[in-house]
Amino acid sequence: MSKRSRRWWIFGGALLLGLAAVLALALPYRPVPVVGPAVAPAPLELPPPLPGLRLHVFDTGANRMSPLLVGADPPWRPVPAFVVEHPERGLVVFDLGLSHEVAARGQAALPLPMRWLMESRGRVGFTLDEQMRRAGLRAGDVAYVVVSHLHEDHTGVAASFAGAVFLAGPGTRAQVLAGAHSPFPPDVVPDWREIDFEARGQPVGPFASGVDLFDDGSITLIAAGGHTAQDVMMLVDLPAGPVPLTGDAVVHYDWLESDDVERIASDPERAADVRNRVRALLASGDATIIPGHDLRRLGPARPDLIVHAAPDFAGRPTGG
């Protein structure tokens, strides 16, 4: 087969796959139930928590998914971002929320096809970097940024932390450095590192592979997957009890409590496996999770978990 013919075959195959995806999304929503494997409850068995470790929770906006992806009448859900104050290592950010562009223009600032599949609202002055500044947390003091996956509502203001080391799942670096939708301007080359779960990972509770970021038990990065191939969760061992931040490996509590992995999972079987492992962790009574887009069950105020107030993004027009 000639090179020209091979190119046409590749182009034709890509076109057919694209048409199939469009047709699938055009069909009325049907649940995607995946039971997944049984996972026994398993405690985390962490070392004693580090005194002085604190987690800040910021809400940077609101998203509402298309009914084609998640069923009828989807609610608006928060877009959180997180900052850990480590007493010895400085600040560690997990996920970056919405960008300045989305804060100003809503989903019109998102690339296609994302803007067709999700409504998104922010507010100027309430991106993560701006909220951190008001809380007395300096962007320049951020040593590490952990990115759960590369969707735009999790990479938002990455350029504001360009001096930090970025950590993300395998396969992300090339996408960021050469991708059409990189969160960094063309003249910025971030220190982007892929977490080597295969070489460094150890079992953590019900999860197959986790990497102790500082070798002190304070922050453990956990291999996930299912929502995207690169999903990473971050377990913060706070003094009052461990808190796993799941990114969209667990999108919200309703998703966790259903076998429907919806049309948002890139790998439904893997998504169900991770979901069941999170369920097993909760069944052990060993942690309080915070999903990627749900802040409803944070519980009573505690000195090591600070939830910062934010406006009602869903009920407020974008911009002002």
Instruction: Please state the separation of Cα 147 from the chain's center in Å.
Output: 7
Q: What is the pLDDT of residues 53-74, one digit of tens each?
A: 999 999 999 999 999 899 999 9
Task: Spell out a b/e string for 296-315, using b for 16 or more CB atoms within 10 Å of the CB, else e.
Answer: eeeeeebebbebbebeebee
| pLDDT band for position 112 (cuts 50, 70, 90) | confident
Q: Can you give the pTM of this predicted structure?
A: 0.90
Structural domain boundaries of the chain? 41-307
Mean pLDDT computed over 281-290: 93
Least confident among 5-9, 63-67, 101-105, 197-201: 5-9
Query: What percentage of the chain carries pLDDT values higher than 70?
Result: 90
| 77 touches 293 (CB < 8 A) | yes
Is residue 140 left, alpha or beta, with left meaning phi > 0 and alpha meaning psi from -120 to 50?
A: alpha
Residue 192: closest CA among 158, 226, 160, 217: 158
Does 20 score more than 70 pLDDT? no
Q: What is the DSSP string of 78-142?
A: EEEEEEEEETTTEEEEE---S-HHHHHHGGGGSPTTHHHHEEEE--TT-SHHHHHHHTT--GGGE
Distance between CA atoms of 100 and 130, rounded to whole angstroms?
10
Question: What pLDDT shows up at residue 286?
Answer: 83
Give the per-residue pLDDT at 22.
54
Nearest residue to 233 via CA among 306, 289, 177: 289
Q: Which of 301, 300, 290 is nearest to 83 (CA)?
A: 290
Looking at residue 276, what is its pLDDT?
A: 98
Taking domain 41-307, whether its CATH number is 3.60.15.10 is answered by yes
Distance of CA 299 to the CA centre of its chain: 21
- Percent of the chain topping pLDDT 90: 82
| Average pLDDT over every residue of 82-109 | 97
